[in-house]
Amino acid sequence: MEEEPLTEGARPRAEASGGGGTEPCPGCGALVPTVDGPTHRYLGASPGCWAAFGRVLAREYSDPAFLAVHGLTVDTYAVQHPGTPSPQTIHSAGVHLVALHLVLERGRSVADAARFRQRAVERIRDRFEWLEPPASLGALTVLDVEGAADADEHAARVRAWARAAWEAWSPHHDTVRGWAARL
């Protein structure tokens, strides 16, 4: 996933309409505030979920200790918000699933995964195919990452979230492993 520039924070609809409330994100299923605001152009995320992701990214960018797991954060968010079939979403899900496989199953570092992400784009991009997303994309979401007391807790939460998302895609693990073997 190419990171989209973050815009001003999402504004709760309650401010504009007197309403408010929550809604499930169409991607990850998290119950997020109902807000008006930006979303990603091809990931299937609600404005409330996209805003939560933006807050997590802001924390990672603001402290090098939090930034250590940034790639895993992006990979996990992307596979929990696969969108609908298109060349961009197919490539995004493929690259990010390969990265999760390399970190979680093959023990590669988050930094190594960044290099492999680039290699996947260069070498196997045309081999990716649409993988039907599982009914549940994992029990943990970006909301479970917010609020970590320190960088160690943040890293532990991101890794648990990544593991939950990777396990949700288990019907496609053999396909992803095949893609990774071509790197």
Block means of pLDDT (10 residues each) for the chain, 183 residues, are: 36 37 95 92 93 97 96 97 94 95 96 88 85 96 96 98 98 96 88
Closest C-alpha among 133, 57, 56 to residue 93: 133
Residue 17: predicted pLDDT: 33
Closest C-alpha among 51, 93, 64 to residue 154: 64
Residue 20: predicted pLDDT: 73
- Predicted TM-score (pTM) of the model is 0.87
Residue 42: predicted pLDDT: 87
Question: What are the tokens at 89?
Answer: 């979403």
Closest C-alpha among 42, 27, 35 to residue 77: 27
Residue 163: predicted pLDDT: 98
